[in-house]
Amino acid sequence: MSKNPPPLFRNPVVRWLDERLPLFSMLRKEYIDYPTPRNVNYFWSFGAIATLMLLLMIATGLMLAMQYTPHVDMAFSSVQRIMRDVNYGWLLRTIHMNGASMFFFAVYIHLYRGMYYGSYKKPRELLWILGVLIFLLMMATAFTGYVLPWGQMSYWAATVITNLFSAIPWIGEDIVQFLWGGFSVDNPTLNRFFVLHFLLPFVIVAVVVLHVAALHVPGSNNPDGIEVKSKRDTLPFHPYITSKDSLALIVFGIGYAVIVFYAPNYLNHPDNAIPANPLSTPEHIVPEWYFLPFYAILRAIPNKLLGVIALFGGVAILFFLPFLDRSKVRSCRYRPLYRWFLWLFVVDAVFLGWLGSKPAEEPYILWARLATAYYFGFFLVITPVLGIVERPRPLPVSISEPVLKTASRPRAS
């Protein structure tokens, strides 16, 4: 640190505060000056979108929690009361309920962005792992939240998902009773799920802080996947990236608003409008769309324990991606083979999602098995092998080089 840093802030109050607790300096460094590669595209906006979704979910969730009653006799009607009697309750709940879908949508694109442009590779492995951890925490939060309205789908989702742990040999049954606090999903379960659903988002906030801190050590990746070489390669975060992210956020928000105001129940299941009944399972139970690919993996495997292992493995394998991919080239722009296998992986994941929404019968089971084989084959075979055998295309010298070349062309003619 230099002896006399120049006073960054003209306002004497801000300066007084900042000399004692350098919050303003920190925010300025990380959110105004932060040098961002000048070639980032709109895929890079989904991190900001996801962050704002998290904050929106916490804000609306706090308001809903003030009206909700976590008791088996009152939960369902307290949600109906929110929808009918509480001022703007319908709006808060619709924003919150569909917000989960929008949050997952943003995070799935964010995750795919990381895969396509190799953002998980050295030196950003830990950044990626923290991101997968956030994804895992989001799944737990979404699941516990889905149980709270205590409709039929809520109840049976809670039953099926907690029963996944009964597949663990020897101690599985005890673990499930521990999770339930009883012999079935009941009041103790609902009560603790409410507490967890309230707690976990703040844990996510903490991991997001670590995620951003880990991002700001090496800086953002970019569509070329090459290192920043000089100041010409970057732009300050504000106003360049903030304005770009704002536009992305507005477009995203329009789509979100269309769902909230015109199709608030499109992603919902009619069965969840029936109060929970422990004696009758709905004919066709499916999870929310964002869990469908993993649900299809579970059902593709005819053995209970192996099915559960595959389900969790489908998420856990993401943690190991930085170590499975040995290719030095980050961006798929310069990986002519891997790019197609990655696109096929996206098609495969969407196909698995569609299969997860279908009943557990042929031909869907066979297709789900093939799609599951590709899902794991992509990570365990294709990624490591292509990292060795693929011949990548030549990388540009620097981020700014293609930009400046284009800019100088008219002058040259």
Footprint on this chain of other proteins (rule: CB under 8 A) = 156, 159-160, 162-164, 166, 177-186, 188, 192, 278-281, 283-285, 298-299, 301-305, 307, 359-361, 365
The set of long-range contacts for 186-191, using a CB threshold of 8 Å and a minimum separation of 24, is: 186/72, 186/278, 187/71, 187/72, 189/147, 189/158, 189/162, 190/70, 190/71, 190/72, 190/75, 190/147, 190/148, 190/150, 191/70, 191/71
**Is residue 390 annotated as a catalytic residue, yes or no?**
no
φ, ψ of residue 10 to 5 degrees: the values are -80, -35
Among 96, 121, 211, 244, the active-site one is 244
**Is residue 288 annotated as a catalytic residue, yes or no?**
yes
The distance of closest approach from Cβ of residue 284 to other proteins in the complex, given in angstroms and rounded to an integer, is 7
d(CA 131, CA 322): 12
Taking CA 52 as the corner, what is the angle to CA 46 and CA 56, rounded to the nearest 5 degrees?
140
350, two tokens: 């969407």
Name the 3-class secondary structure at 37: strand
Q: What b/e string do you get for 237-259 counting C-beta neighbours within 10 Å, with b at 16 or more?
A: beeebeebbeebbeebeeebeeb
Taking CA 172 as the corner, what is the angle to CA 166 and CA 175, rounded to the nearest 5 degrees?
100
**Is residue 244 annotated as a catalytic residue, yes or no?**
yes
The distance of closest approach from Cβ of residue 143 to other proteins in the complex, given in angstroms and rounded to an integer, is 14
354, two tokens: 């569609």
Nearer to other proteins, 307 or 384 (CB): 307
Q: What distance, in Å, lies between the first and last C-alpha atoms of the chain? A: 48
The distance of closest approach from Cβ of residue 236 to other proteins in the complex, given in angstroms and rounded to an integer, is 37
Among 29, 71, 216, 358, the active-site one is 216
Name the 3-class secondary structure at 151: strand
The distance of closest approach from Cβ of residue 100 to other proteins in the complex, given in angstroms and rounded to an integer, is 22
The distance of closest approach from Cβ of residue 204 to other proteins in the complex, given in angstroms and rounded to an integer, is 22
Among 18, 233, 245, 271, the active-site one is 245
Name the 3-class secondary structure at 100: helix
Nearer to other proteins, 183 or 262 (CB): 183
370, two tokens: 């093939």
**Helix 172-180 / helix 152-163 crossing angle, nearest 10 deg:** 150
d(CA 211, CA 114): 13
Nearer to other proteins, 59 or 274 (CB): 274
Nearer to other proteins, 60 or 162 (CB): 162
Nearer to other proteins, 308 or 329 (CB): 308
Nearest to 295 by CA among 236, 219, 358: 358
54, two tokens: 């998290």
Nearer to other proteins, 152 or 222 (CB): 152
The distance of closest approach from Cβ of residue 161 to other proteins in the complex, given in angstroms and rounded to an integer, is 8
The distance of closest approach from Cβ of residue 275 to other proteins in the complex, given in angstroms and rounded to an integer, is 15
Among 224, 233, 271, 288, the active-site one is 288
Nearer to other proteins, 29 or 304 (CB): 304
Q: Which residues are catalytic?
A: 216, 220, 244-245, 288
